[in-house]
Chain A
Amino acid sequence: MKKRLLKGGRVVDPANGRDGTFDVLIDGDRISRVGRDLPIEGDTVVTEIPSGLIVCPGLIDMHVHLREPGQEHKETVATGTAAAVAGGFTAVACMPNTVPVNDNAGVTEYILKKAAGANLARVYPIGAVSRGQLGEQLADIAELKQAGCVAITDDGRPVATAMLMRRALEYARMFDIPVIEHCEEQTLKGEGVAHEGFQASALGLRGIPSAAESIMALRDIALAELTNGTLHIAHMSARQTLDAVRWGKQRGARVTCEVTPHHFVLTDEMLAAPVAYDTNVKMNPPLRETADRDAMLAGLADGSVDAIATDHAPHHYDEKGVEFDRAPFGITGLETAVSLCFDRLIHQGVLTLSRLVELLSVNPARILRVPGGSLSDGAPADVSILAPDLPVTVSAARMRSKSRNTPFDGWTLRGGVAATIVGGRVVFVNEAVDIRV
């Protein structure tokens, strides 16, 4: 492969303490050098980075549902990774709640084969904690790890018993992989479909109390402390959960956490308006109250939150076009995340750019122990080129994802993606940005 020089962009690479104008030289599938005014050799392709654009290590979405195998009507590895690169992500970690469940090497290898075929974003499968995600016996975790899984979780079906969670944390420690928990105490959640509070009461929707989440986060943090295992708390929604994570970190428990863009942008007021009972604001965990949303913003700013992940959960429109309480939980997120981050976090002054890159790239790589997260010499040439001031109008109809279940359709946001490079290959260029790569 030839050499490519990304010339004169604002490079934000917090892992190397860089934030300034640099050239990035890519040699084949690796970063060769980053420096000022690098010399141009004869065979190097030069890409001038227009001023105002940002060059950063490839974004990693550590929580997506690619739905393959088994639910290809919602998404496939190919459409999901196309959505990922269009959203600026060079890698995604996919949840095991496929059909069949990713609880064995066969499914993991199938997903990796599909990812190799699509050849867009990198795909890191996440295996199940328990066989069939049934919460009874541990899955063959050594086998999953060997096949390529980078973490284990029963996402969507939280580990119900403390004993099994204890064993998972202990067992996973041998392989140095995190256990990711979708924190939700099932008996408290009951038949709930929306955050328990004023809005759910007014609309007559069964509530999911914040305690359903925080109670399990507290349990798991105590178990992480007991076992010295590595715990990652997925898609936090409640301020009490964030407090639990802070408490755990203070005590030295090995716990990290993520928050989704919809939980730091939206609140449960979306249940009533602009479209009452819109199933595209039904997700699990649910949108919570303003105080929770503000707590997530504070946690992002003060470093308590480790990562931003989308919980990209595509569903077919037939499945969403039903009564609110019968619709599946979840919304898509890969193609709106960067715009929401710029619009709500950067332009509102919540975060610095370098902190945003930590949340979207450095920390996900560190938590999952996968390559990436930096533009160090010799690192994989996974690069996201972002356009912080690009005016974006979200259009569900134009998304690469196979599904269109987003509550952000029609929103106008400031900030987007210019181009995405995976392993030195340009896999996405946004035609709305004046860039030649």
Chain B
Amino acid sequence: MKKDLLGIGDLTRDEIHLVLETAEAMREIGQRPIKKVPTLRGKTVVNLFYEPSTRTRTSFEIAEKRLSADTLSVAVSQSSVLKGETLADTALNIEAMAPDMIVLRHASSGAGHLLSRICRSRIINAGDGMHEHPTQALLDAFTIREHKQHFDGLKIAIVGDLLHSRVLRSNILSLTMLGAEVWACGPSTLVPPALDRFGVHVTTSVDEAVADADVIMMLRIQQERMDGAFVPSLREYFNTFGMTTARVGRAKPDVIIMHPGPMNRGVEIASDVADGPYSVILEQVANGVAVRMAVLYLLAGEAEAD
């Protein structure tokens, strides 16, 4: 693997499979009475979060602790960024204390690339702007593989705010590389330009997207996009794109419903779908820890090999 994990684009298909297989082994650790192995003992991991995050930060922290890394989380609020020091200076200051890895969440696309150019530490991208969220895509792939055993020819419908979604971009890269057939669906105001050049089917019809789907992955739509600029109203969005039991009925009988969280119940997904039998949303969260342990382990292993 490369020095850093900035995006799925940094990985080959074989490396994705390696992460998924390693995550299988890591999951077992989480099921033991004493959930800890000494693998990363003596390694320091800094979680540098410039955006609020509950799930991803907790998941990384638990993964790091289960591998016995010395870990700390730094939450930097956007307001202090505006007055305070630059990202590069903050990173160089942290770097001066010789961590082994930095896990970065940042509102700007490419923030991880900036760190990668100036830091010796390995950088793991925990979400950069509208660009990528590679560990989310890996845990999504892990969850899909667990249910479907393979990816070849699976119809995967990704529905919601495609334009602003880093989860979409990472998932398109990983799922198409793994052999799935990806359908991207959202209101035409929220479809990134030239999305059809990413090797996916693009549609604005939910019915078409979910028809005979093996996997339905919902994306969060931000409340602030509902003020009429992108979508006329919350009500119209739910009526047109919300995932309801009736729409799920068009998919394959063994369809699974995914969501990277946090969910807006009654906006992009009806509660009875989110809580229903097809939902694997909490499994995704559980798998996130194992997948992040695998990523940390594999990158640290590369460090040893250096």
Q: Taking beta carbons and an 8 Å cutoff, which residues of A are in contact with B?
A: 196-198, 200-207, 275-277, 318, 321-326
Most buried by A among B113, B128, B166: B113
On chain B, the residues within 8 Å of A324 by CB distance are 108-110, 114
On chain B, the residues within 8 Å of A276 by CB distance are 110, 113
Across the two chains, which residue of chain B brings its CB closest to A209? B193
A197-B194, A277-B110, A322-B114 provided; 17 other pairs, C-beta below 8 A?
A: A198-B194, A201-B194, A202-B169, A203-B109, A203-B110, A203-B131, A204-B109, A204-B129, A204-B131, A205-B109, A205-B130, A207-B193, A322-B86, A322-B88, A323-B108, A323-B110, A324-B114
Whether B197 pairs with A198 at a CB distance below 8 angstroms is: yes
Shortest CB-to-CB span from A266 to chain B, Å, is 18
On chain A, the residues within 8 Å of B75 by CB distance are none
Whether A277 pairs with B193 at a CB distance below 8 angstroms is: no
**Residue B111 is within 8 A (CB to CB) of chain A in the complex:** yes
On chain B, the residues within 8 Å of A321 by CB distance are 86, 88, 114
**Residue B292 is within 8 A (CB to CB) of chain A in the complex:** no
Whether A322 pairs with B87 at a CB distance below 8 angstroms is: yes
Which 9 pairs of residues, A with B, have the shortest CB-CB distance? A277-B110, A204-B131, A204-B130, A323-B108, A204-B109, A201-B192, A198-B194, A277-B113, A324-B110
13 A-B pairs within 8 Å (CB atoms) are namely A198-B194, A203-B109, A204-B129, A204-B130, A204-B132, A206-B130, A277-B110, A277-B113, A277-B114, A321-B86, A322-B87, A322-B88, A324-B114
Q: A198-B193, A204-B169 are in contact. Are A325 and B113 (CB under 8 A)?
A: no
On chain A, the residues within 8 Å of B88 by CB distance are 321-322
Shortest CB-to-CB span from A204 to chain B, Å, is 3
B78-102 CB mask vs A (1 if < 8 Å, else 0) is: 0000000011100000000000000
On chain A, the residues within 8 Å of B131 by CB distance are 203-205
Whether A201 pairs with B129 at a CB distance below 8 angstroms is: no
Shortest CB-to-CB span from A140 to chain B, Å, is 36
On chain B, the residues within 8 Å of A204 by CB distance are 109-110, 128-132, 166, 169
Q: Taking beta carbons and an 8 Å cutoff, which residues of B are in contact with A?
A: 86-88, 106, 108-111, 113-114, 117, 128-132, 166, 169, 192-195, 197-198
Q: How far is the CA of A277 from the CA of B128 in the complex (A)?
A: 12
Q: A204-B130, A277-B109 are in contact. Are A323 and B87 (CB under 8 A)?
A: yes
Shortest CB-to-CB span from B165 to chain A, Å, is 9
Q: How far is the CA of A318 from the CA of B106 in the complex (A)?
A: 19
On chain A, the residues within 8 Å of B128 by CB distance are 204
Across the A-B interface, how many residue pairs have beta carbons closer than 8 Å?
Answer: 61
Whether B192 pairs with A325 at a CB distance below 8 angstroms is: no
Shortest CB-to-CB span from A291 to chain B, Å, is 13
Whether A200 pairs with B193 at a CB distance below 8 angstroms is: yes
Interface of B is mostly: mixed
Q: How far is the CA of A31 from the CA of B38 in the complex (A)?
A: 82
Option from A202, A275, A326 in Cβ contact (under 8 Å) with B198 = A202
On chain B, the residues within 8 Å of A196 by CB distance are 193
Across the two chains, which residue of chain A brings its CB closest to B169? A204
Across the two chains, which residue of chain A brings its CB closest to B165? A204
Shortest CB-to-CB span from B157 to chain A, Å, is 19
On chain B, the residues within 8 Å of A206 by CB distance are 130
Across the two chains, which residue of chain B brings its CB closest to A200? B193
Whether B130 pairs with A323 at a CB distance below 8 angstroms is: no
Q: How far is the CA of A321 from the CA of B113 in the complex (A)?
A: 12
Q: How far is the CA of A73 from the CA of B140 in the complex (A)?
A: 48
Whether B108 pairs with A326 at a CB distance below 8 angstroms is: yes
On chain B, the residues within 8 Å of A205 by CB distance are 109-110, 130-131
Option from A197, A318, A325, A326 in Cβ contact (under 8 Å) with B193 = A197
Q: How far is the CA of A322 from the CA of B107 in the complex (A)?
A: 13
On chain A, the residues within 8 Å of B86 by CB distance are 318, 321-322
Q: How far is the CA of A203 from the CA of B131 in the complex (A)?
A: 5
Option from A200, A202, A203, A323 in Cβ contact (under 8 Å) with B114 = A323
Shortest CB-to-CB span from B137 to chain A, Å, is 14
Most buried by A among B106, B110, B197: B110
Whether B110 pairs with A201 at a CB distance below 8 angstroms is: no
Q: How far is the CA of A325 from the CA of B114 in the complex (A)?
A: 12
Q: How far is the CA of A205 from the CA of B194 in the complex (A)?
A: 13
Shortest CB-to-CB span from A187 to chain B, Å, is 11
Shortest CB-to-CB span from B177 to chain A, Å, is 14
Most buried by B among A201, A323, A325: A323
Q: How far is the CA of A59 from the CA of B88 in the complex (A)?
A: 39
On chain A, the residues within 8 Å of B130 by CB distance are 204-206
Q: How far is the CA of A133 from the CA of B1 in the complex (A)?
A: 51
Shortest CB-to-CB span from B11 to chain A, Å, is 15
On chain B, the residues within 8 Å of A322 by CB distance are 86-88, 114
Q: How far is the CA of A318 from the CA of B129 in the complex (A)?
A: 22
Across the two chains, which residue of chain A brings its CB closest to B172? A202
Q: A202-B198, A203-B131, A204-B128 are in contact. Are A323 and B193 (CB under 8 A)?
A: no
On chain A, the residues within 8 Å of B132 by CB distance are 204
Q: How far is the CA of A207 from the CA of B106 in the complex (A)?
A: 19
Q: How far is the CA of A168 from the CA of B223 in the complex (A)?
A: 42
Q: How far is the CA of A206 from the CA of B192 in the complex (A)?
A: 10
Shortest CB-to-CB span from B224 to chain A, Å, is 13
Q: How far is the CA of A203 from the CA of B111 in the complex (A)?
A: 11
Q: How far is the CA of A197 from the CA of B117 in the complex (A)?
A: 26
Across the two chains, which residue of chain B brings its CB closest to A271? B110
Q: How far is the CA of A207 from the CA of B192 in the complex (A)?
A: 9
Q: How far is the CA of A321 from the CA of B115 in the complex (A)?
A: 11
Across the two chains, which residue of chain A brings its CB closest to B192? A201
Most buried by B among A196, A197, A204, A275: A204
